[in-house]
Amino acid sequence: VFDVGGQRSERRKWIHCFDNVESIIFITAISEYDQVLFEDETTNRMIESMQLFNSICNSTWFLATAMILFLNKKDLFMEKIKRVNITTAFPDYEGGQNYDEAVAFIKLKFAELNLNPDKKTIYMHETCATDTNQVQLVISSVIDTIIQKNLQKAGMM
């Protein structure tokens, strides 16, 4: 397990982590759709996160790598969406200012980034890292996903 960091300055350190990667857990804070990067005040955090996810998901390094997406900080998102429309990041959003519609739209946006949906599944989980019970369930689900993928790869399923 490697935490490769999210800031642009950290990304150049990733290359040594790429050998024999079975799965990638990509974590994005869905509550940051109206915020900009620390190091670039002109770039929206959610858009930057999606661009990074796109480059990782579709990289030749990870053609056979399971992608697990954590849409984190759902508790903050649930409150913020009532006040701040996600059109801040997604001008094409036409849904309501409610959690279910907005999360479904964001999931669709991430799913559309996968250029090989017939070969690669993106497993998505809405998370709140401070909810230990929920995180335990999600981690168990992730472990099951990794085991299933390895069994399939070994021809045992």
Q: Could you list the residues known to form a binding site for GTP, using ranges.
A: 3-7, 72-75, 129
- Distances in whole angstroms, Cα of residue 142 to Cα of each of 6, 10, 123, 147: 21, 25, 8, 9
- Extended strands (E) in the chain: 23-29, 66-72, 122-126
Per the annotation, binding residues are 3-7, 72-75, 129
CA separation for the pair 109, 25 (Å, rounded): 17
From the CA atom positions of the chain, what is the Rg in Å? 16
